[in-house]
Amino acid sequence: MKRLLLVALLLFPGCGGNRVDPPPHGEDDEVGAEAAGDSDSLAAWARRTRDLWAAGDSAGAGAVARQAFGGAWAQAEDARASAQEATTSERLPDVRKDLPPSSAQVTDALTRVGLAVDIVESHGTPVVWQVLVSDPVGSASARTEFWAWRDPHGFSAVVQGLPKDAPARARYGPDAVGDLASRARSDGGAELASAWARPRSRGGLEVALATRKRGDSEHFSVTSNRVLPIEADTVLFEDTGALVIIGGGGRDPLFDECPTCPHLERRQRYTFNNGQWTLGEEKVAATPYAAFVSFMHALREGTPDGALPYASSPAVIEQATAMGLELGRGPLRAAPGTLATDPMQRYRTGGAGAIEVSLTNASGRWVVDDVRPTQIVIE
């Protein structure tokens, strides 16, 4: 006999205009009654969700969308339980009771009734999902985002509307980069770390930490939210809680780092202490562009001799100082099409001025071999 599973059914918040989640009560998005995850119910909830979004009731639509999610979760749990109990010639392995169902099954169930779903699963225990549900043919505001995890005492989902001060993936576009990590605490509670950004965006990386006390009715509360002023391409939380970011890092005042300009590839490791994220380690990928960046910083921030480790000979320093590159007359902007890996690069120095830089690989590291005036013609 098909098993009836308990799922989280969210109570309707009051009508709330055109805003998008979180719901009126912030992160205390209460769960309530029972719901069966049958296909007819899912289709009805999905239709109701789209209608409410179309009518501008984002709060009501979000509540019904989370109800539909609970029904899809129930279907996936039911399918997993049925598979475990199926009579086969070989005994299936026991289902881990602390793990959620397959996110692919939940996504498929909601997609079949006309809702777009994007799920990111945390690495760590307990597993927490950050779920984005939207209307694929609706407006940009037709979406809701929330956290979900498995009720440790049953087969239902615990669903929490995304807190106002938690990073929303939707805020950073469809190509958002980030990570989600969870960790159980010794007192029975849990911790969650979330970080999201637009790739290579000057808007920075938003990082939040949240904790949940022990107890079935407890939700996560955000304890820290910071925006790190760095460009990120890859984000990863280590098991220790440290944050590893690969990307351009912070802005360089000596170079105009436009979206199509060459960039450094930094691997930075941050740790959280006394309410702040602190940079503890940084490694920069060895490229011709990275060598020229180091050359210019040494030239402008110290003495000309300080740039010698990044030059093939003292003659290169003389070339640079003859053109006044040590004076810091503004950021350099790479010519269109310049790549970080190009051994010959051209830069505008302001006005009609421009330079051509040649670099060579000497004993496994790049150094500046020649600097001379040039012209850059933009067609």
Res. 285: pLDDT tops 60:
yes
What is the distance between the alpha carbons of residues 182 and 2, in angstroms, rounded to a whole number?
33
Say yes or no: 124 and 190 in one domain: no
Q: Is residue 204 part of a domain?
A: yes
Tens of pLDDT, residue by residue over 115-132, are 999 999 999 999 999 999
Say yes or no: 70 and 107 in one domain: yes
The range of the structural domain enclosing residue 209 comes to 176-284
For the chain, strand residue ranges (E) read 116-121, 123-125, 128-134, 143-150, 157-161, 177-184, 190-197, 205-212, 221-228, 234-237, 243-247, 266-273, 276-284, 333-334, 344-350, 353-362, 365-373
Q: Is residue 363 part of a domain?
A: yes
Say yes or no: 85 and 155 in one domain: yes
What is the distance between the alpha carbons of residues 335 and 260, in angstroms, rounded to a whole number?
10
Say yes or no: 190 and 331 in one domain: no
3-class DSSP state for residue 154?
coil
Q: Is residue 38 part of a domain?
A: yes
21 token code pair: 């989640």
Say yes or no: 272 and 304 in one domain: no
Q: Token pair 């590291």 is at which residue?
A: 365
Contacts (Cβ under 8 Å, ≥6 apart) of 11: 30, 32, 63
Say yes or no: 152 and 215 in one domain: no
Q: Is residue 147 part of a domain?
A: yes
Q: Domains in the chain: how many in total?
A: 3
156 token code pair: 């239902």
pLDDT score of 24: 38
Tens of pLDDT, residue by residue over 139-166, are 999 999 999 999 877 768 899 999 999 9
Q: Final residue of a domain: which of 132, 164, 196?
A: 164
Q: Final residue of a domain: which of 220, 252, 284?
A: 284
Q: How many C-alpha atoms does 340 have within 13 Å on its Cβ side?
A: 19
Say yes or no: 157 and 230 in one domain: no
Contacts (Cβ under 8 Å, ≥6 apart) of 238: 244
Q: Is residue 169 part of a domain?
A: no
Q: Final residue of a domain: which of 141, 164, 187?
A: 164
Say yes or no: 92 and 156 in one domain: yes
Say yes or no: 23 and 146 in one domain: yes
pLDDT score of 35: 47
Say yes or no: 159 and 246 in one domain: no
Say yes or no: 185 and 261 in one domain: yes
Range in 28-37, 168-177, 200-209 with the lowest mean pLDDT: 28-37
Q: What count of other Cβ atoms lies within 10 Å of the Cβ of residue 365?
A: 12
185 token code pair: 């605490």
Say yes or no: 261 and 278 in one domain: yes
Contacts (Cβ under 8 Å, ≥6 apart) of 16: 23, 24, 57, 58, 59, 60
pLDDT score of 37: 54
Report yes or no on whether pTM surpasses 0.85: no
pLDDT score of 86: 61
Tens of pLDDT, residue by residue over 69-79, are 999 999 888 87
pLDDT score of 133: 97
pLDDT (average), residues 271-279: 96
